[in-house]
Amino acid sequence: MATYLSAVVGFLIALIVSTIIIYVVTTLFGEKKSIGTAVIAAITGAIIYAVVYFLLGNGLIAAGLAGIVWLIALGSLYKIGWLRALVTAIVIWVITEIVGFFLPTL
């Protein structure tokens, strides 16, 4: 029970952190969407990566495919093109890595 609870709490904390990062980055890039869109983007990304990694396992192909699908989702949610979605995703990834350095348990 404790393992299940800690996994749920860890997921919720990671979701909140991801949502905040996505919201801040997209706002800095001039997007006018609400934080709700950032929540949907974070949940969508988690689902995409979970499904792709479940189907293909760990590896570069799985990561690349999941990344491409998430770019499509990000572009659709924020009504932005491929290049802007790619730049947004890279900035989100860099900031997430920096935050992950300070919050290594996520």
> Encoding tokens for residue 45?
């990304």
Per-residue confidence (pLDDT) for residue 5, from 0 to 100: 85
* pLDDT tens, position by position, 73-94: 999 999 999 999 999 999 999 9
Residues 6+ apart with CB under 8 A from 14: 106
Q: What is the reported pTM?
A: 0.86
Q: Any idea where the domains of the chain sit in the sequence?
A: 35-106
